[in-house]
Amino acid sequence: MKTVLVASSKGGVGKTTIATHLAAQAALDGLNTVLVDADPQGSSTHWAQRRAGLESAVLPLDGTRRKAWRRQIPDGTQRLVVDARAGAMAEDLDVFLEIADAVVVPVQPSTLDIEATVPFLDSLARHPRVRKGELRVGLVGNRLKPWTNASQQALDLLKAWPYPVVAQLRDSQAYVVLTSLGKSLFDYHSAQVRDHQADWQPLLRWLRK
């Protein structure tokens, strides 16, 4: 079972959008997929409930209790995606960091968001599994507007950090609509979504390593 933790101490950076898309993509690939929602807001759970009628349904589990969710993971689960609560630092996520194969950290292209993410990344760097190179950490530039100087400058700054930028996701209202429907970009095959789907391919390749 491969486990992906999506986490950031900064709220509103698109954590749930990334977690639900990774869960949907895995389920569409035929993997038995579980989505652990550790955020009290329950947005990932609501998304999974809306998706329940699809063949590519994702099982939601309540991750707000420290360890209870682990006993509920069904046998045969192949992909576990964790949507961490906003504001959590590494020490608050230890139960997830102990089992994760990769940590995905979304960052928005603003000075305030980038500065707010630094303490979280510092706390990750102190975790024994990250320090030993046992746990990979990847940054995702989210809600980017590639044609703007602000987004380009933010990416340049992120690339100077010790963790790799593993995806650059453009800003789009489509994500808001899809989340409300229990869907993802990967559920569609139209020309309108191909560019957006392509944005995800570097992240998906990084997670397959």
Averaged pLDDT score across all residues of the chain? 93
Please tell me the predicted confidence (pLDDT) of residue 60. 98
The structural domains of the chain, with segments of one domain joined by +, span 2-208
Quote the CA–CA distance of 164 and 24 in Å, as a whole number: 24
pLDDT band at 146 (very low <50, low <70, confident <90, very high): confident
Please tell me the predicted confidence (pLDDT) of residue 166. 96
Residues 95-126 pLDDT 10s? 999 999 999 999 998 888 888 899 999 999 99
Looking at domain 2-208, does it have CATH number 3.40.50.300?
Answer: yes
Please tell me the predicted confidence (pLDDT) of residue 111. 81
Long-range contacts of 22-26 (CB under 8 A, 24+ apart): 22/81, 22/104, 22/203, 22/207, 23/48, 23/58, 23/79, 23/81, 24/51, 24/56, 24/58, 24/183, 24/184, 24/186, 24/187, 25/184, 25/186, 25/200, 25/204, 26/78, 26/79, 26/81
pLDDT value at 12 more than 90: no
Least confident window among 4-8, 31-35, 192-196: 192-196
Least confident window among 52-56, 151-155, 168-172: 151-155
